[in-house]
Chains A and B, each alone.
Chain A
Amino acid sequence: MATGQTDANGNVSFSSVTSGSHSLTVAKQPYNSYSGTVNVTYDGQRFTVTLTMPTPTTYTITIHVQDEAGAALQSATVDLG
């Protein structure tokens, strides 16, 4: 296994890679990790990996406000940070 980190231009080079199929994984926060296969067939070959951002998960919630007796409070101001 060969490991490297990309430079300022997003490139990392590997030498003495045998021809054929290789597994390629790329990780960088906060992007989604990439896992795939590359087929090395000639010298100087260049592979481009596009990292995607995770899709934020959103939910619908309800805040119920009541007094100590359990009676609903109308017109209470609710702030959700």
Chain B
Amino acid sequence: MPTGIPAPQFQITMFWVKWIENGTVKQAWDMLASVGSPGHNAPIQIPAWTSAVGSYNLQVEVTVKNLTGQTLDLKLRVQVCPRNTSGLPPLPIPPCGQLLDSPADIHIGSGFTWILPIWQLQMWSESIDLHLEVVDAVDQTVYNCIVPYYDNAGYRADDFYVPIDVKSGPDTFNITVHVQDQQSVAVQGASVNLS
């Protein structure tokens, strides 16, 4: 382990993420996610290949794995955000879905499954970002998720262990809000409030 990186405290193993259309699993991904440090967190980007406008479900199961014996009372929180990564003429991109919480009694070794409705994914070229957070149910500290490993080769995610760094306080970031009309034309002079 590199110098200066705290010993891992806990790890989230995302056993699988399944893309479901009309009750049929179209594709599944194995992933490994862990709790991130400032500057290292990022959404999990899942490629989508839908060829038609429609509503689809994404099924997510997250399991928390203890690496050090520390016991934590956690809840898991996910949010899905559509993204157009194609570079093709943009279509209106739906807003992020709701933040969804698991029950606040997730313990090390247990997990939770969500069925996340994805609205109006409109192009095969769109992707989705899956934002995963872990919340300490005792002090409400939020730990963001990073994805150090993306298994595209059929390995079991829990074969891999990645050191993690638990952040100690809130991070601050620079963000951009883009405002457009229904024809995806930029709207100038819109008043934007963030609170």
Which A residues have a C-beta under 8 Å from some C-beta of B?
A: 1-28, 31, 36-53
Contacts and interface: CB of A to CB of B under 8 A. Distances in A.
A32 B103 CA distance: 35
Contact of A17 (B175, B180, B186): B175
A42 B174 CA distance: 8
Interface residues of B, number: 40
Contacts of B191: 3-5, 26-28
14 contacts: A1-B193, A3-B191, A6-B192, A11-B179, A18-B171, A26-B179, A28-B179, A39-B99, A39-B133, A41-B43, A43-B174, A46-B177, A47-B177, A50-B181
Contacts of B178: 6, 9-11, 46-49
Interface of B: 39, 41-43, 79, 92-93, 95-96, 99, 131, 133, 142, 144-145, 170-182, 184-195
Contact of A36 (B95, B173, B182): B95
A26 B190 contact: yes
B174 A44 contact: yes
Contact of A25 (B42, B92, B96, B193): B193
A3 B193 contact: yes
Given A14-B174, A14-B175, A28-B190, A39 B42 contact: no
